[in-house]
Amino acid sequence: MEAQGIELNRIFCLDSQKIVRILLIALSVLSVPIVSLLHYAYAHSTVDSGAIVKTIDNKYQIAFQLYPKFASAGQNATLHFDILDENGSNLVGVYAALVMKEKEPGTTVEQMPYRFYESSDISIPYKFHDNSDYVATLLTRIMDDSKYLATPLQVDFDIPVGQTITISPNELLLMVVPFTSALIGGIIFVLKKKK
């Protein structure tokens, strides 16, 4: 029994330098995946990146992704749109406009005029005015398609702004990992001091 106690004491007796090294290694190993997860809004939005994808005429896919995922009023946000052809490739040379409406009562909050984009991978900065439900309407004129050059391709995406107090998994990890590391370090330090 005493031999087991000595063995356990030898295993758990760490000097402060070893504790600091272990905590730094653990924190650096855990931080790398967290930092890479922070950038979940990709310029090239796809189903895999969590984008909402709508198909028009079985010919075009329009992907939408909001960054940050949970936007609130007064916060700078980015609306990412990606228009893909039937092969999943970006289009070359499109004109796009955006109309932002409050979902209820349907009033137009902002209209952004048509602008030329060399690629159909489009990012639009936006600041929401109120915590409300919005509808973003993307209007796109496609140079190589006579139908959608004359009449714009139109697609609506619902955007709830500030409706939940949901924390994304990445934000949760950013808060939990340092706190947990500090707590474990503190417990080890207190146990070490008692002996």
**Digit-coded pLDDT (tens) for 38-70:** 444 444 545 556 788 999 888 999 999 998 887
Q: Is there a single domain that holds both residue 87 and residue 173? A: no
CATH of the domain at 109: 2.60.40.1930
pLDDT (0 to 100) of residue 100: 92
| Alpha carbon distance 80, 66 (integer Å) | 6
Q: Is there a single domain that holds both residue 64 and residue 123? A: yes
Q: Is there a single domain that holds both residue 126 and residue 193? A: no
Sheet bearing 108-119, strands edge to edge = 108-119, 92-102, 133-142, 153-160
Q: Is there a single domain that holds both residue 71 and residue 133? A: yes
Q: Is there a single domain that holds both residue 28 and residue 82? A: no
pLDDT (0 to 100) of residue 63: 93
Residue type, 103: K
Strand pairing class (133-142; 121-127): unpaired
In a domain, 78, yes or no: yes
Cα dist from 8 to 23, 82, 108, 125, 149, whole Å: 20, 58, 69, 58, 76
In a domain, 51, yes or no: yes
CB neighbours (10 Å) of residue 6?
10
Which letter does DSSP use for residue 90 in this model? B
**Digit-coded pLDDT (tens) for 105-137:** 888 889 999 999 998 999 999 998 888 888 999
pLDDT (0 to 100) of residue 14: 60
Q: Is there a single domain that holds both residue 65 and residue 136? A: yes
Structural domain of 193:
18-40+169-195
Residues 6+ apart with CB under 8 A from 129: 73, 74, 109
Q: Are 97 and 115 in contact (CB under 8 A)?
A: yes
Residues 6+ apart with CB under 8 A from 133: 102, 103, 104, 158, 159, 160, 161, 163
In a domain, 8, yes or no: no
**Digit-coded pLDDT (tens) for 171-194:** 777 778 888 888 888 888 888 877
**Digit-coded pLDDT (tens) for 78-94:** 999 999 998 888 999 89
pLDDT (0 to 100) of residue 9: 54
Q: Are 126 and 109 in contact (CB under 8 A)?
A: no
Q: Is there a single domain that holds both residue 23 and residue 85? A: no
Domains contained in the chain, number: 2
Residue type, 144: D
In a domain, 186, yes or no: yes
| Alpha carbon distance 51, 34 (integer Å) | 20
Q: Is there a single domain that holds both residue 188 and residue 149? A: no
Cα dist from 169 to 78, 80, 104, 124, 173, whole Å: 19, 20, 30, 25, 6
In a domain, 139, yes or no: yes
CA dihedral 123, 128, 133, 138 (to 10 degrees): -30
Q: Is there a single domain that holds both residue 51 and residue 129? A: yes
